[in-house]
Structure 1
Amino acid sequence: MPTDPRGLRADAPLLDAWLRFHEKPPTPFTIPGHKQRHDLVGDVVAGDVPLYAGLDTMKLATGVLAEAEARAARLWGADVCRFSTGGATHANQAVALAVAGDGDRVVVSRTLHRSLLLGLVLAGLTPVWVRPEVDPATGLPLGVAPTTVRRALADHPDARAVLVGDPSYVGTVGDVAGLASAAHAYDVPVVVDAAWAAHFGFHPALPRHALQLGADVVVTSAHKTLPAWSQAALVLARTARVDPARLDAGVEATATTSPAGAILASTDAARALLERDGEQLLGEALAATRAARDRLRAVDGLAVLDGAGVDPLKLTVVLAGTGADGNVVEQDLLAAGLPVESADRDVVVAVVSLADTAATLDALAARLAASVERHRGDPRPVVGPAAYTVDPLPVLPPRQAFFAPSEAVPLDRAEGRASAELVAPYPPGIPVLAPGEEVTAGTLAALEHARAAGTRIAYAADPELTTLRVVRP
């Protein structure tokens, strides 16, 4: 029988509903088809309770989801909150549909996540790209400068919104308050994909969250730094510049009609935990992360991201100065049962959450330091972001290119063609190509530069980059 070890159910209506379902299990004549039997496919379906005819009635008569979303809105200081069982991917696409319409321009950070790109495609939006600053010492993105956004809005006064990702995948934090000020001067909303920042604003040592800094819409993942099920996410909005009815319509248009109750209940439980015990749990995780950073900083040549512009709960290291190959280091960590979020030749990224402790962080830091020493080689220069050598050359709207008939062609025959896909060397995750952009000689040179440096190529249909998908003539 499931339990509530931290006594959260009184403050989490969806968690309470999930527990009550198990305390008085029905004999359902509804989906899901396993009917709560574990003797058919095993415990893999344990805990799978639907929202409809599970946490609530088929007609949603008790309103537990609406109550849970209202509690989350109050905690984050939003006017509206919607839970997602499709992750930040679903949430980003819903927001893209909400903020602008077919053919409208939006200012978009070039470090967009694939889900945001697909949101642009689904909504038929035309991006005005803005690039983040990049740290020359590490080659990692620092965030889009407010002056860059202000310039883009001045050049495109018809733009309907500004969409950025912050913090970045590697944990660098930009000036969200400055971005909000720049956008609001043109009376357009700022949407922040803060998938990695559900913990921001809930400990004095952490940055404030994006709504506190003036953003209009925030998308965040409850399953990244909070203890929720995979695919748990939230959309949080202030509605002065965003139509709440249109936001609801965007959420419903892109959501499943059979939402997983366990994901919803875990989102509610994670919110209740963050509200009640978040500062304590985050404080312990932050202290452990600081200790791990100190240990790794003692490794000769290893650059450890730290300081005011970095999420204190993200552990990112750059190995170029040690000569060690991050892919080999990752194999050592996997063998020790310590998988990390990302590893390529130069950068290793470890996600820390409020579930981590001094013991888990100490084990990771010790193994990582030992592996770097084992595989130490000649220091090499940091690979600069290849995407910064390329000026995007749009020739088709993203949606038209994405849905157009396409073909895979050898890389050396792609020049002059319109890309049908997103290609982004990572890190720093800045696309060299987006759908609808022309493949130029500079594009090909940048991709070859990234590939030769051992940089991971994200999103491309062919990760080896022997071919590119381009629009058929």
Structure 2
Amino acid sequence: MPTDPRGLREDAPLLDAWLRFRERPPTPFTIPGHKQRTDLVGDVVAGDVPLYAGLDTMKLTGGLLADAEARAARLWGADVCRFSTGGATHANQAVALAVAGDGDTVVVSRTLHRSLLLGLVLAGLTPVWVRPDVDAATGLPLGVPAEAVRRALEAHPEARAVFVGDPSYVGTVGDVGGLAAAAHAHAVPLVVDAAWAAHFGFHPELPRHALDLGADVVVTSAHKTLPAWSQAALVLARTERVDAARLDAGVEATATTSPAGAVLASTDAARALLARDGEELLGTAIAATRAARDRLRTVDGLVVLDGSAVDPLKLTVLLAGTGADGNAVERDLLDAGLPVESADRDVLVAVVSLADTSDTLDRLADAVARSVERNRRLPRDVVGAAVYQVEPEPVVPPREAFFAASEVVPLPAAVGRVSAELVAPYPPGIPVLAPGEQVTAASLDALAHARRSGVRIAYAADPTLSTLRVVTGVE
């Protein structure tokens, strides 16, 4: 029978409801269809308790979800919070629907997650792109400069919101306070996709979280650095510049009507754990990550991302100086039972959470060090920052490109056409092409250079880039 080993249920109403359901299982005549039987398809459905007629009544008379969301709002200093069982993907799309309307302009970081691009499509928004700085030494993105947002808003006073992703996928942290000031000077909200930063603000060595720095809306994933089920995420908002009713409508419009109670309960439990024990657990993980970085810095030629503008819980290493191929290192790590979040020729990214200790980080650091020595070759250059600085040439809005008729053409024939696809070297995930933009010789040269350098090309329908999907009849 499930237990509450850390005694969280008193402060976590959804966790308490999940445990009570499991302690006194009913004979349900509701969905899900497995009816809590594990003898049919096995333990894969164990613990799958619905919200409706599971954690709460079918009419939600207990108000448990609203109670749990209110507790999360208080913890982060938000006016409102909504839980998502569709991850930051659902949350980003809901926020896009909430802050602007069909045909409106918004300022968007070029490091957008593809879920936000689909949010632009759903809401009919037209992006004005702002680009992050890129470190020439590593080829990795830094933050979006506040000055870039100021210039974009001055050039587009009609813009309704600013969207940025921070921290980046590789763990670099930008000036969220400066971005908030730039947005608020033009009376528009700052929306931060902080999917990788649910832990920010809960230990003295961590950056402050985005709401504390002035952001109006924050999307964060409870399942990335906190111990929640996959797909658990939160939308946290202050309502001075954001309509709370419209945010609710956006969340409901894009959410499932059959939310998984276990995902919701785990979000509630993770929030209660963060409030009570977060500083202690995060302190252990931060110290272990620091020790792992120190260990890896002893490997000749290996560059370890570090410093005040890097998440203390992200372990990102660059391999170019060792000559080792990150794909070979990844195979060694998989053989050792140590999968990492991302690996390409030049970059390894390992996610650390408050579940990690010195034992897990020591194993990882030792395995990476051994593999690099085993696969060491002549040093090579990093992929240059110029790869990620191709100027976009918008022709039609993303929504129009998404719904337009399209055709697949050989890559050389795509020059001068309008892309129907999002194409980005990953990491760092900065698009070279987005739907609605003209395909130029410069953009194709940049993608070819990235591929030759061993960088994975993400999102494209044809990952070999022999072909590209373009809008029919638009040039």
Worse overlay, 405-414 or 120-129? 405-414
Match of 1:368 in 2: 368
| Partner Cα distance (2:386, 2:418) in 1 | 19
Runs of 4+ with deviation above 2 angstroms: 385-389
Q: Is the 8 A contact 2:14 2:265 kept in 1?
A: yes
| Offset of residue 428 of structure 1 | 2.1
**2 CA distance for matches of 1:6 and 1:348?**
33
The answer for the alignment partner of 2:212 in structure 1 is 212
Show the counterpart of 1:40. 40
Q: What is residue 135 of structure 1 aligned with on the other side? A: 135
**Residue aligned with 1:53, SS:** helix
Aligned partner of 1:399 in structure 2 is: 399
Q: Answer yes or no: is 1:172 the counterpart of 2:181.
A: no
Q: In the alignment, what sits opposite 1:229?
A: 229
> How does 1:433-472 map onto structure 2 within 5 Å?
433-472=433-472
- Could you tell me which residue of structure 1 aligns to residue 50 of structure 2? 50
C-alpha distance 386-101 of structure 1, shift in aligned 2 (>3 A): same
1:235-286 Cα shifts (integer Å, max 9, x gaps): 0000000000000000000000000000000000000000000000000000
Structure 2 residue aligned with 1:326: 326
- Give the distance between the partners of 1:227 and 1:203, measured in 2 at CA: 16
Q: How far did residue 427 of structure 1 move?
A: 2.2
Distance 2:116 2:341 in 1: 20
- 1:80-95 matches, cutoff 5 A: 80-95=80-95
User: 1:272 aligns to what?
Assistant: 272
Residue 385 of structure 1 and its aligned partner are, at CA, apart by: 3.5
Q: Could you tell me which residue of structure 2 aligns to residue 415 of structure 1?
A: 415
CA distance in 2, matches of 1:451, 1:150: 34
Query: Number of residue pairs matched?
Result: 473
Distance 1:386 1:429, change over 3 A: farther
Deviations 1:384-411 (A, max 9, x none): 1454442111111100101112122111
Could you say what secondary structure the match of 2:408 adopts? strand
- Which blocks of at least 5 consecutive residues in structure 2 are unaligned? none
| 1:412 CA drift (Å) | 1.3
Aligned: 1:263 with 2:235: no
Native 8 Å contact 2:8 2:273 kept in 1: yes
Contact 2:80–2:244 under 8 Å retained in 1:
yes
Native 8 Å contact 1:386 1:450 kept in 2:
no
> Amino acid of the residue matched to residue 425 of structure 1?
P
Letter in 2 for 1:133: D
Match of 1:284 in 2: 284
**CA deviations over 1:3-22 (Å, ceiling 9, x no partner):** 10100000000000000001
Partner of 2:245: 245
Runs of 5+ consecutive residues of structure 1 not aligned to the other structure: none
Is the Cα contact below 8 Å between 1:389 and 1:442 reproduced in 2? no
* In structure 2, distance between residues paired with 1:158 and 1:322: 49
**Residue identity in the other structure for 1:320:** A
Query: What is the CA–CA distance in structure 2 between the aligned matches of 1:250 and 1:55, rounded to whole Å?
Result: 24
Q: Structure 1's 386 and 431: CA in aligned 2 closer, same or farther, altered over 3 A?
A: farther
Q: What amino acid is aligned across from residue 74 of structure 1 in structure 2?
A: R
Q: Quick one: distance in 1 between partners of 2:63 and 2:370? A: 53
Q: Distance in 1 between matches of 2:224 and 2:332?
A: 24
Alignment partners' CA distance in 2, 1:380 and 1:389:
21
Normalised to the residue count of structure 2, the TM-score between the two structures is 0.99
Letter of the structure 1 residue corresponding to residue 124 of structure 2: G
Distance 2:392 2:286 in 1: 39
Alpha-carbon distance, 1:355 to partner: 0.3
Say if 1:133 and 1:141, in contact at 8 Å, map to a contact too.
yes
Q: Distance in 2 between matches of 1:269 and 1:400?
A: 42
Q: Are 1:120 and 2:134 an aligned pair?
A: no
Instruction: Check whether the contact 1:386–1:432 (CA below 8 A) recurs between aligned residues.
Output: no
Deviations 1:38-61 (A, max 9, x none): 011000000000000000000000
2:299 corresponds in structure 1 to 299
Separation in 2, partners of 1:410, 1:35: 51
Aligned partners of 1:425 and 1:380: how far apart in 2? 18
Matched AA of 2:332: D
- CA RMSD, Structure 1 to Structure 2 (Å): 0.7
Deviations for 1:81-133, whole angstroms, at most 9, x for unmatched residues?
00000000000000000000001000000000000110001000000000000
CA contact (8 A) 1:386 1:447 kept: no
Q: Which moved more, 1:422-431 or 1:196-205?
A: 422-431
With over 3 angstroms needed to count, the CA separation of the structure-2 counterparts of 1:264 and 1:389, relative to structure 1, is: closer
1:463 CA drift (Å): 1.2
